[in-house]
A = this chain, B = another copy of it.
């Protein structure tokens, strides 16, 4: 941020009074801008024992498979966001069963939250965001072609719980070595 969103004046990057972090502070109108982590919400959509995945039609990771997920929007709940993203990316309507995984990714200021979900019917299609949408047997998940490490971790946890039939809520942190990626 270089300019104040309230008055358009150039901001200073300083630590405000009664704070301990550098913020964008406007010397003209005194507006302080807080930049906070963003929540990505999505689903693990199941239909008759099969898993729905979407092949990304957009960057990043164009062409790789992902669980439907995206940035949570204002005025919605976490599960509403997850179901909206599922509809937008796969054309399918689903219901959330429970929150399943919450993965902090601090170096990119994101939290990825996935719900166990059931598709209401066998009805999905390619969208502007997904070149292909398909159901996979759990034994056929394309592990080497998954788009994001949070998706891989979530599906690993899902497969572990699926073996026991008992699904917990899981929390994890992804620390990515930015020197090697």
Contacts and interface: CB of A to CB of B under 8 A. Distances in A.
Copies in the assembly, this chain:
2
Given A3-B3, A18-B128, A74 B8 contact: no
Contacts of A7: 2-3
Contact of A8 (B8, B75, B80, B128): B8
Interface residues of A, number: 42
Nearest to A38: B36
A75 B109 contact: yes
A149 interface: no
A106 B81 CA distance: 11
Contacts of A79: 104, 171
Interface string A45-81: 0000000000000000000000000011111111110
B128 A77 contact: no
Interface string A115-154: 0000000000000100000000000000000000000000
Interface of A: 1-10, 18, 21, 24, 33-39, 71-80, 98-99, 102, 104, 106-107, 109, 111, 128, 169, 171, 173
20 contacts: A2-B7, A2-B8, A3-B4, A3-B5, A5-B24, A8-B9, A8-B10, A21-B73, A35-B74, A36-B71, A36-B72, A36-B74, A37-B74, A77-B104, A77-B106, A79-B171, A99-B102, A99-B169, A102-B102, A169-B169
Given A1-B5, A99-B169, 9 more contacts: A3-B4, A5-B24, A8-B8, A36-B38, A37-B76, A72-B111, A77-B106, A77-B173, A78-B171
